[in-house]
Amino acid sequence: MQRNTLVSAAAAVVLALGGPVAAAATATADTAKTVPAATAARADVTAEAAASAALKANPGVIESLERDGSVWHVDVISKDGTHSELEVDSASGGVTKENQDDEQKADDYAGLLAAKVTAEQAMKAAVAAHPGKVWSVQWDDDDDDNGRAAYWDVEVKTTDGKTQNVHVDTATAKVLSSNSDDNDDGN
């Protein structure tokens, strides 16, 4: 008699839990089907967020940042001149260190390290002048030998679908010039 009571109690527990467990299993299966759609609907990591993530993982100054498919390539220079190449996943914001040059060459990056305007500030100035999304930013001091000062070169994909190349002053964050890759004469 006692055995029948235990079997009946166990069967009641299985039946009582069977409904919620089955419902949970169904919900989990439905959720699994919708996760890719939810992930696809999630907004991409912006250039500004990629810069922030890279600097959080590897403190320093951004030399360049560029979108390449599903990743952002970010070059960060530390105060001692160490050059690190990072990748920031454009979906998750996860940071991976790809390469690091430990030969300290702070002198090679003196202009960048002393600049008053950071890459992040240059991106803000470029987007203020040409609303859209930043696709790349790069420190450009190649023309120093020709008497031209260094500048930030920012590529913006504008809201009207064009690409603007914007040069931003490294001391004032003023837009020096801009031109469109789409043969648009407007600046």
Overall average pLDDT of the 75-91 stretch: 93
Model-wide pTM > 0.75: no
Cβ atoms within 10 Å of 90's Cβ, excluding its own: 20
Average model confidence (pLDDT) across the chain: 79
- In the chain, where do the E strands start and end? 61-68, 71-77, 83-89, 95-101, 132-140, 151-158, 163-169, 175-180
Q: What does the pLDDT look like over 106-161, one tens digit per residue?
A: 788 899 999 999 999 999 999 999 999 999 999 998 755 456 789 999 999 999 98
pLDDT on residue 43:
61
pLDDT average, residue stretch 42-70? 93
Share of the chain above pLDDT 70, in %: 70
